[in-house]
Amino acid sequence: QVQLQESGPGLVKPSQTLSLTCTVSGGSITTNYYYWSWIRQPPGKGLEWMGAIAYSGSTYYSPSLKSRTSISRDTSKNQFTLQLSSVTPEDTAVYYCARDRGGTIWGEYDYWGQGTQVTVSS
């Protein structure tokens, strides 16, 4: 029922800001008590949780990325957005948006986007 779709540029230059949008259908991003997350997977590496925005609008970030990460939402469009500033080639990854079930444990995702490749290169 719920579908998530990532969109945005597939190529970003170093030092610029990566911006991706996740469009959600079949469910509202304001519905209690879900969290809407961004996760990435660099080549040859595991999944890395980046951050999330809650149904309430509160945001949460990975400590390692907090200084460069901003998550926002547009409830009228049922979208949430990732911005990652000052990117380097180490930020090259497949980026996913996903819905967290909102339980007491982070990382229980019931719906995922298909992922989008973002390459940081000059």
Of all residues in the chain, the percent with pLDDT exceeding 70 is: 100
SS3 of 39, please?
strand
Q: Is the dihedral of CA 44, 11, 67, 104 positive or negative?
A: negative
pLDDT in tens, 36-75: 999 999 999 999 999 999 999 999 999 999 999 999 999 9
pLDDT in tens, 80-109: 999 999 999 999 999 999 999 998 888 999
What's the number of CA atoms in the CB half-sphere (13 Å) around residue 110?
10
CA gap 35, 107 in Å, rounded:
10
Closest C-alpha among 96, 9, 87 to residue 46: 96
Task: Name the residue with tokens 């595991």.
Answer: 46
